[in-house]
Amino acid sequence: MGGRDDGRRIGAAELGAALGERATLVQFSSAFCAPCRATRRVLGEIAGLVPGVTHVEIDAEAHLDLVRALDIAKTPTVLVLDAGGRVVRRATGQPRKADVIAALGEAV
C-alpha cells in the first residue's frame, strides 16, 4: 500500500458509516470501474477475517466534497484508518490482499 497521509482524521459522519473497532478500510469507487469490484471483494474478505475491521465503500461521484477534501484522484482509492479515524495508509488501484493486511498492521 502506498503513501501516508499527514494524520488526517475522518469521522463516522463523513463516512456515513461507523468506524471499525480496530480499523476501517475506506474504498472510493465509481460506477463503471472494473477494478473497484475486485477491490470490494478483497476488502470485504479481509474485513470478514480480521476482527474489529470494517469495510466502507463510498461512491466517489456522489460524495465530491469528500473526494476533494481527501484529494482522491482516481478509483479505486483505498484508505486505511486506525480506530480513531486517522488515515495511516492510502493506495490507488486494486490492492493486493497481502499489502492491505500489512497496512492494517500499522493501524491496529
Query: Mean pLDDT in the chain?
Result: 92
User: What is residue 82's predicted lDDT score, i.e. its pLDDT?
Assistant: 95
For residue 3, name the pLDDT band (cuts at 50, 70, 90): low
For residue 4, name the pLDDT band (cuts at 50, 70, 90): low
Q: What is the mean pLDDT of residues 79-95?
A: 94
For residue 86, name the pLDDT band (cuts at 50, 70, 90): very high
Q: Which long-range contacts (CB under 8 A, 24 or more apart) does 91-98 make?
A: 91/1, 91/2, 92/2, 93/35, 94/35, 94/38, 94/39, 94/42, 95/1, 95/39, 95/42, 95/43, 96/42, 97/42, 97/45, 97/46
User: What is residue 105's predicted lDDT score, i.e. its pLDDT?
Assistant: 87
